[in-house]
Amino acid sequence: MSPSSSPSDAPATDIVQGAVSTVRPSFDDHLLLTEDEAAHARFCFLGEFGYELVSWIPYLLFLRETLGIRLRTLGRPGSSVIYYFSNDHVEVDSSYIGGCWGDPLAYARLADLYPTDLLVCPGRQSGTLVNRRRIEVGGHRWTTVDIHRSIDETNYVKPDYSHIQPWSPIAGLAIVVINNKYLVQWEDRYHRPINFFDPDALRSLRDLFLENGYGVVYNHFVEQTAIDDHLALADTELFGIDDATFDMRAIYADCASPAERNERQISLYNSADLVVAPQGGNVYIPAICGRHLCMIMRDGDYLDYLELARLYDIDLDVFYEPRHMLTWLAAWLSNGDRA
């Protein structure tokens, strides 16, 4: 394989060829492994969910499904459902989970937990968030080191969660899922949440869908990580107030594990007609599940979501404010051909 030059080709400290127990490559070393060496390594990801789903997992799926390599993997709480293809998956606690590609210090902590394993993980990022580490298995390179550009799908197999059976908490009605979050993003630019639905917008969305015969499921899942600071939002009494609305927090409270919680989320998405959501990692699983997405984005990288829609061949409609979304939805819902 002869990859074209890219920012990720900038030299790191060393190239490690071969994964023997006496070699402890640094976070910056390039890794060139044989297929057998890769089968005895552990592939780890401790960064943002969107980066994981659009970059890391498709490469691992390529190694597993195209090359037939037995994989050992490691990820966030509940990730065993996401890594359904792994032969040996380990979940770590939320204190390891950081931003973008993951915190180098968190990966270093993993080395103390697995002192005899070769841990394969993303490297440091450039100032433009391009990952600088070269990872190659059997001559097949990890190529999606920049998720903020067109994805060329080289050495890339898309995940598929259609094996998880659809489930709905509302009987007898087609459902719309409303995702939400309320946390500060990009703290260098903002001191309060920017991409979210406030209670008034939630009421308006709820009522619009109810008037048009839909059941409405609210999904404000708060993932604990080492970096995110989730703030309180007055949204706990807006859904689950009648038989046509439901708040997923009632389900999550009874889940025995994070993996059960994630499986419930995926089964919900697999049953939805539409998912309404703010910008961010919460839209990636619905896209992979093939759902039509209506997204609010006051700030963010538009290309990321256009690429996500292209990869999974879904309809995507993006709006700057909830009022714009509501106007469009009212017209869309009045169109009998919308299905």
Q: What is the CATH number of the domain that holds 227?
A: 3.40.50
Cα-Cα end-to-end distance for the chain: 44
Instruction: Note whether 120 and 241 are same-domain residues.
Output: no
Query: Residue 120 is part of which domain span?
Result: 7-141
The reported pLDDT for the residue numbered 300 is: 94
Residue among 291, 198, 211 nearest 245 (CA): 211
Instruction: Note whether 190 and 278 are same-domain residues.
Output: yes
Instruction: Note whether 185 and 60 are same-domain residues.
Output: no
The residue among 99, 115, 141 that closes a domain is: 141
Instruction: Note whether 134 and 261 are same-domain residues.
Output: no
The residue among 93, 123, 141 that closes a domain is: 141
Instruction: Note whether 71 and 201 are same-domain residues.
Output: no
Q: What's the CA gap between 245 and 261, in Å, rounded?
A: 19
The reported pLDDT for the residue numbered 315 is: 97
The reported pLDDT for the residue numbered 129 is: 87
Instruction: Note whether 193 and 68 are same-domain residues.
Output: no
Instruction: Note whether 311 and 214 are same-domain residues.
Output: yes
In a domain, 169, yes or no: no
Q: Phi and psi at residue 210, in whole multiples of 5°? A: -60, -40
In a domain, 262, yes or no: yes
Q: Phi and psi at residue 3, in whole multiples of 5°? A: -65, 145
Instruction: Note whether 307 and 179 are same-domain residues.
Output: yes
Instruction: Note whether 181 and 288 are same-domain residues.
Output: yes
Location of structure tokens 């770590």: 92
Question: pTM of this prediction?
Answer: 0.89
In a domain, 158, yes or no: no
Instruction: Note whether 238 and 130 are same-domain residues.
Output: no
Instruction: Note whether 180 and 320 are same-domain residues.
Output: yes
Instruction: Note whether 12 and 109 are same-domain residues.
Output: yes
Number of domain units in the chain: 2
The reported pLDDT for the residue numbered 14 is: 43
**CA distances (Å), 146 to each of 110, 126, 132, in order?**
24, 10, 9
167 Cβ partners below 8 Å, 6+ apart? 264, 267, 268, 270, 271
The residue among 141, 166, 196 that closes a domain is: 141
Location of structure tokens 């869908």: 209
In a domain, 87, yes or no: yes
In a domain, 2, yes or no: no
The reported pLDDT for the residue numbered 26 is: 63
Eight-state DSSP code of residue 4: P
In a domain, 227, yes or no: yes
In a domain, 163, yes or no: no
Q: Residues 35, 138: contact at Cβ < 8 Å? A: yes
Long-range contacts at 189-198 (CB < 8 A, ≥ 24 apart): 189/299, 190/299, 193/231, 194/298, 194/299, 195/278, 195/279, 195/280, 195/296, 195/297, 195/298, 195/299, 195/300, 196/233, 196/278, 196/296, 197/278, 197/296, 197/322, 198/233, 198/322
304 Cβ partners below 8 Å, 6+ apart? 50, 54, 147, 148
The one-digit pLDDT tens for each residue of the chain (339 residues) are: 333 333 333 334 344 444 433 345 566 689 999 999 999 999 999 999 999 999 999 999 999 999 999 999 999 999 999 999 999 999 999 999 998 999 999 999 998 899 999 999 998 887 778 999 999 999 999 999 999 999 999 999 999 999 999 999 999 999 999 999 998 887 788 889 899 999 999 999 999 999 999 999 999 987 766 555 667 899 999 999 999 999 999 999 999 999 999 999 999 999 999 999 999 999 999 999 999 999 999 999 999 999 999 999 999 999 999 999 999 999 999 986 565
118 Cβ partners below 8 Å, 6+ apart? 19, 21, 23, 25, 37, 40, 41, 42
In a domain, 245, yes or no: yes
